[in-house]
Amino acid sequence: MPRRRRCRDGDGAETTTVPETMSDPTTEDEAFMAEALAEARAALALDEVPVGAVVVIDGTVVGRGHNRTRTDTDPTAHAEVRALRDAAAAIGDQRLRGAVLYSTVEPCFMCAGAASHARVARIVFGVRDPKFGACGSIGDVPREGRLNHTSAVTEGVGAEEARALMVGFFRSKREEAAERRAAESDGGAREGA
Residue 105's closest CA among 32, 174, 156, 48?
A: 156
Among 80, 106, 160, 191, the one annotated catalytic? 80
Count of residues making up the chain: 193
* 3 state SS for 9-25: CCCCCCEEEEECCCCCC
Q: Is 80 an annotated catalytic residue? A: yes
d(CA 146, CA 139): 13
Neighbours of 77 (CB within 10 A): 18
Closest CA to 147 of 117, 172, 185: 117
Residues acting as catalytic residues: 80
